[in-house]
Amino acid sequence: MHSPRKSRPIQFISLLTAMILIMLLLVSCGGNAPSGGDKPDVEEKPDVTAPQDEEEDVNTQQQQDEDSDTPGAPASASESYSAYIQAKGELITKLTDALANNPGTEFTSMSLLGVSMVDLAMLPASSFGLGEAAAITALGFLGAEDIEYSESGNQYSVKYRGQDGLNYELHGEYDKAADALKCTSFVDGKESLTSEYRRTSFGYVSQMYVIDDDGSTYVYQLAVSGPDGVVGMSQVSEPPSLLTGNESIDFPKQCKEWYAIKGDEVTGVTSDGDEISFVYTPSENE
């Protein structure tokens, strides 16, 4: 049986991930609703039967459209972000569970809380490409007010006032060809976060540059490949170089502190510089 103290980090990560995924689901459903004041067309239509050759052409085109809708080609920035955040969440949850329930690394798992908290600041990205109604739906869960959404081409912006009275902004630019999103967050006009991810041949790479209230700066870097991946973190003096999409799955290991999982093997270097290596046994909650 695991002690409550050991289980707390994994429970927090799981709840946070679940909350964000629920919001993304609601936003996705909202994107399918009629926009503006449009009403569903419920009037009866004449019973017109199309010629068979026209029906075959329509079916062929529909099949081509379905075939082109591959996981590597998201229909919108929101859909892309949803896929990325799910992959990231599963990796963080798995690593947190591994560290929290391994003797000697229980408190090391707390290092992963920072990379998860960034997801809250990035929540408006779940509405990119879906419109203001979707942004209101997502941010409403956090008690946000005065929500303003705008987009122009592949650039998006969401502004709102939080429950703490502060004014928040998230600006993003989505590169559909590369399946890459880069965002910058502001709090009361001051930059607080730069976050980006890119699709790669093996999955995703991402990094977050965080500016604390006291001016100290940190970078979190991730590489995700299915159930495996690496998470790294360091205190830094300047922003990291932009991602290219050519990074290897080990690129977060350049950080001072990092944790990796491949299959059931967990390795890493703690904030104290100690190397760790153990076999992961999933907890009962996994």
Q: Regarding predicted confidence, which is higher, 8 or 262?
A: 262
Q: Indicate if the pLDDT at residue 253 is higher than 90.
A: yes
- What's the average model confidence in pLDDT over 239-249? 96
With bands split at pLDDT 50, 70 and 90, how would you rate the model's confidence at 19?
Answer: low
At 123, give phi and psi (nearest 5°). Answer: -55, -40
Domain boundaries defined on the chain: 4-29+74-279
Q: Indicate if the pLDDT at residue 34 is higher than 50.
A: no
Q: Regarding predicted confidence, which is higher, 228 or 65?
A: 228
Closest by Cα among 137, 159, 139, 138 to 148: 159
Sheet of strand 204-211, all strands in order from the earlier edge strand to the far edge: 145-152, 155-161, 167-175, 180-187, 190-199, 204-211, 217-225, 228-236, 257-262, 265-269, 275-279
Q: Indicate if the pLDDT at residue 5 is higher than 90.
A: no
Q: Indicate if the pLDDT at residue 94 is higher than 50.
A: yes
pLDDT number for residue 74: 84
43-57 pLDDT, tens digit per residue, is 444 444 444 444 444
Question: Which uninterrupted H or E stretch holds 23?
Answer: helix 4-31
Average pLDDT, the chain: 82
134-186 pLDDT, tens digit per residue, is 999 989 888 999 999 999 999 999 999 999 999 999 999 999 999 999 999 99
pTM of the predicted protein model: 0.77
95-148 pLDDT, tens digit per residue, is 999 999 999 999 998 999 888 888 889 999 999 999 999 999 989 888 999 999
Contact 138, 26 (CB under 8 A): yes
Q: Indicate if the pLDDT at residue 274 is higher than 90.
A: yes
Q: Indicate if the pLDDT at residue 37 is higher than 70.
A: no
